[in-house]
Structure 1
Amino acid sequence: RVARPGPGRPRTRPDRVVADKGYSARKIRAYLRRRGIAATIPERIDQINGRIRRGKARCRLDRTAYRRRNVVERCFSRLKQNRALATRYDKRAVHYQAMVTLACLRLWLP
């Protein structure tokens, strides 16, 4: 769920899904297409070769959206350097959320 800036129900469908090659499958792409969600997923080499054999064009990849995914992945990597977050020692969700908040503050503050 994504909260709206004003009044109204929260959104339950994202505008775009950005994923790596591990999620490049026909079923996943068909599911996203059915729900009206844009997919930014690079194709695996076997899928590219299959398209070339069938004489079809390759899927287009929005490179700017895919590059922004790298920023998120690096942020998760930096957060996982905190041992309490990587192994999830906390039993309660509130304590884990507090630990995530503290780790984010440590990243953002000099």
Structure 2
Amino acid sequence: MSTNVRLEVSIEAIPMIPITHIDRLIWNERLGKRLETLRGSVSRREMCERLEVAGFHITISGLAKIERGGVDSIDARMIVSILAILGMGLETMYPTFSADKKLVSTLETLSA
């Protein structure tokens, strides 16, 4: 029996799981670059200060490490908080799950 199984699932077949039920999200360099782009003119220092108010302690170097893709996973609540601070929703970080095709196209271009 082959261990190389290819699983093809249409997006419609993927269950929607409430973010409150997810502890950590897989992270990589591409997502880190996307986060840095989305952060825009908000400094890392300001983001860390605002995250502290939201209950997350993260250093400027810790945030830089996340943006470089230097971590394997990220606290799901933290990424939701970061995006909320920026006035965005989770779909801007993970546009594959967005029904807004223009948003998906724009963000895929930015992360390419």
* Superposition TM-score tier, normalisation by shorter sequence: under 0.3
Report which of the two structures shows the higher radius of gyration computed on alpha carbons.
Answer: 1
- Which structure has more relative contact order (CA 8 Å, sep 6+)? It is 2
Q: Using structure 2 for the length normalisation, give the TM-score.
A: 0.24
